[in-house]
């Protein structure tokens, strides 16, 4: 599955690059597809957060992204740092109390908000204190309509006007003369196509769940809601929690019961395994098996090391230690796309920190580099006599997990 998007530059009056607008595409054809705004926004967010980083897409300039009320209400803008995005409210949205409340909340959180393809209605004035930019379609708006908008915002000096669909030099000069500050259109550049491998909806949900379960305090209702929106994920959670791996006496029959029974640590492991398995579905099974063994072995080492505090973090580090091979990308690019702690990223990208030392033991053990194994074990304060048993248990556990994964993929 591939992610497609287009970007179009937004310039200031001196034609310096100010930002890019990101435009969803569903293929190599550079035209907006016939899908609703909610789906387009969701796919842009998924692509920009998990396929590309926004810096890849916009050269570290702000990204204008279209949002519907529904996607704003679901807090999609808050997945992106305030300095990286301009929240562009689609022209199809109607002004109302619910939308106003969401706009106020975003404004208070520090987000820049723009109104897209604006046509003036007096009710929008309630929004003006929280709006930083208004986009005006120069191709579709009459001079009288443009004058009405200019008059309406005259008392709000913090609002900048952006003229879009500028197609000639004359239109650019007229917009500047009318007081517009920013400009967008074919006169400057047509949208440029961008393509990347894309996460499937299930992979995107798993990435979101990995992020949620990495927080100190779990938001159980939110986690439940993500599972409830993905039948495939919910099925796998229930199947996993009832599997022979746990040898439970009572059957688990609800998502909440499964989550509570598994607990945070087992849930994190389940999600990291499933996420890696989803990404590795078209790769040799041995790659996934190695990731599983490395994750479990690293976790086992962490539990007996006085230098390591959180064994579940070590598990995830081991699980993702082959993500570059799985994705066919560099580790640096892979880590930029995932919302993980700096400790995990430093270990995987730079080989720094205590997590990296645990991972070094696992890698060295796989190739029988006993000199490195013993050096790293000494640094971690681990008795080397305990290690063979931990590795044997990791292999057994990995085999059980692979049976589950292959069964759910068949």
Q: Which helix (H) or strand (E) holds 20?
A: strand 17-25
Confidence of residue 192 (pLDDT cuts 50, 70, 90): very low
Q: Quick check: 6 pLDDT over 70?
A: no
Which pLDDT band, with edges at 50, 70 and 90, does 49 fall under? very low
What CA–CA distance (Å, rounded) separates 90 from 87? Answer: 9
The share of the chain scoring above pLDDT 70, in percent, equals: 79
Structure confidence at residue 341 as a pLDDT band (50, 70, 90):
confident
Q: Does residue 202 have a pLDDT over 50? A: yes
Average pLDDT of span 32-46: 50
Helix (H) or strand (E) holding 137: strand 133-137
Domain ranges (residues) in the chain:
2-197, 199-279, 283-410
Phi, psi of 409 (to 5 degrees): -90, -15
Q: Give me 14's structure tokens.
A: 């001196």
Cα 138 → chain centroid? 34
Q: Is the pLDDT of residue 135 over 90?
A: yes
Per cent of the chain over pLDDT 90 is 32
Tell me the pLDDT of the chain averaged across its residues.
80
Q: Does domain 2-197 have CATH number 3.20.20.450?
A: yes
Instruction: Please tell me which residue, 227 or 312, carries the higher pLDDT value.
Output: 227
pLDDT for 208 equals: 73
* 267 vs 410, residue with greater confidence: 267
DSSP of 21-88, one letter per residue?
EEEEESSSS-S--S--HHHHHHHHHHIIIIIS-HHHHHTTS-EEEEE-HHHHHTTGGGGS-GGGEEEE
Task: Look at 344 and 37; give whichever has higher pLDDT.
Answer: 344
| Least confident residue range of 209-213, 297-301, 314-318, 341-345 | 209-213
In DSSP notation, 210-237 reads: HHHHTSSS--HHHHHHHHHT-HHHHHHH
What pTM, to 2 d.p., does this model score? 0.48
């Amino acid at each position: 599955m591939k992610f497609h998007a287009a970007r179009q530059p937004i310039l200031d009056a001196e034609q310096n690059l100010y930002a890019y607008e990101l435009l969803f595409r569903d293929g190599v054809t550079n035209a907006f597809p016939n899908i609703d705004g909610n789906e387009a926004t969701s796919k842009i967010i998924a692509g920009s957060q998990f396929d590309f980083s926004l810096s890849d897409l916009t050269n570290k300039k702000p990204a204008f992204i279209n949002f519907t009320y529904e996607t704003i209400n679901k807090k999609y803008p808050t997945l992106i740092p305030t300095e990286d995005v301009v929240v562009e409210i689609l022209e199809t949205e109607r002004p109302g109390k619910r939308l106003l409340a969401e706009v106020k909340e975003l404004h208070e959180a520090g987000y820049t908000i723009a109104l897209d393809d604006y046509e003036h209605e007096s009710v929008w004035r309630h929004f003006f204190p929280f709006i930083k930019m208004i986009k005006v379609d120069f191709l579709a708006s009459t001079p009288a309509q443009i004058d009405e908008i200019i008059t309406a915002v005259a008392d709000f000096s913090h609002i900048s006007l952006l003229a879009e669909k500028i197609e000639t030099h004359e239109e650019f000069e007229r917009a500047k003369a009318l007081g517009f500050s920013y400009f967008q259109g074919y006169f400057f550049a047509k949208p440029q196509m961008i393509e990347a491998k894309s996460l499937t909806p299930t992979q995107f949900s798993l990435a979101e769940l990995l992020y949620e379960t990495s927080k100190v305090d779990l938001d159980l209702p939110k986690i439940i809601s993500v599972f409830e929106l993905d039948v495939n994920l919910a099925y796998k959670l229930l199947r996993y929690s009832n599997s022979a791996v746990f040898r439970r006496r009572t059957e688990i029959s609800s998502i909440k019961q499964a989550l509570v029974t598994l607990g945070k640590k087992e849930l994190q492991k389940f999600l990291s395994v499933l996420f890696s398995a989803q990404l590795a579905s078209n790769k040799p099974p041995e790659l996934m098996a190695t990731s599983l063994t490395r994750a479990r072995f690293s976790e086992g080492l962490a539990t007996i090391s006085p230098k390591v505090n959180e064994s579940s973090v070590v598990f995830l580090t081991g699980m993702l230690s082959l993500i570059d091979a799985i994705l066919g990308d560099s580790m640096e690019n892979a880590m930029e796309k995932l919302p993980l702690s700096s400790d995990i990223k430093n270990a995987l990208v730079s080989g720094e920190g205590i997590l990296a030392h645990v991972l070094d033991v696992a890698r060295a053990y796989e190739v029988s580099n006993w000199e490195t194994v013993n050096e790293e074990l000494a640094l971690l304060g681990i008795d080397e006599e305990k290690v063979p048993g931990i590795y044997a248990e990791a292999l057994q556990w990995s085999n059980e997990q692979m049976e589950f994964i292959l069964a759910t993929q068949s």
